[in-house]
Amino acid sequence: MTSTQPVALVTGASSGIGAATARRLAAAGYLVYGAARRADRLEELRGDGVLPLVVDLLEEASLTTAVEHIRAEAGRLDVLVNNAGYGEFGAVEDVPIAQARRQFEVNLFGLARLVQLSLPLMRAQGGGTIINISSVAGRVAGPLGAWYHASKFALEGFSDSLRQELAPFGVRVVVVQPGAIRTEWGAHALDSARDASGAGRYSRRVDGLARGILNPHGTQRRASSPEVIAAVIERAAKARRPRTRYALGHMARVGLTARRLLSDRLMDQATSRLMG
């Protein structure tokens, strides 16, 4: 069976940007599969016309089953939104390598495997759109976030190569670079920084992180709504010729412009001030 509606798969759909995107695409006429590990949170989307799909990016069988389910039920896949991810924070000296590897497994390798599994469907139907949710942190790095930044820097390069490889098949690749967004991400990132480095030689840096870019009463309070990102994802999904990158949300363009114009040392100073 082949769906008469365009079909979208959105990962990390249980909250934040993923949930907002899944709802928005469903309202726009897409048949949307919302994927995440938390089945209970996914059920909240069913009333908005989103089909829940329990997926673990760390498990090959889970990824294979999910794409095969979409192929069997809908017969097509027009849009893949790779939104699932998290921030592993803490000093490089303190974060166990096993946790660093898991950061890459989720933010890059799980995403890449889902792309591999989805491409035969897209090529067979003559095209599609892959939207990878990166971050301003994929271009601008600060202390205590080395593994998160590294995973997003890698995603940026991965996406550039992928875009060129897939152009002959009509498959578009788009990168979205959010700035500060009101989601659960900040609290989880701060918790990981405190767990790894909150009581050691880097504790003052962690305190600065809490007062600065992850401050729930400062930067995070001024952060943009997930709907801002969901709206641009919808725009990119519908566009015949989308931009290769979209940067938006609180401080997104400011951060990227500063990275382009400032020297490394000046950028280090600016980042230190932002971190309190």
| Catalytically annotated residues | 148
DSSP 65-121: HHHHHHHHHTS---EEEE-------S-TTTS-HHHHHHHHIIIIIIHHHHHHHHHHH
DSSP 121-166: HHHHHT-EEEEEE--GGGT---TT-HHHHHHHHHHHHHHHHHHHHH
- Contact between 114 and 82 under an 8 Å Cβ cutoff? The reply is yes
Closest CA to 245 of 262, 267, 260, 263: 260
Query: Within 13 Å, how many C-alpha atoms sit on residue 207's CB side?
Result: 6
**Strand (E) or helix (H) holding 8:** strand 7-11
| Assigned token pair, 88 | 């592993």
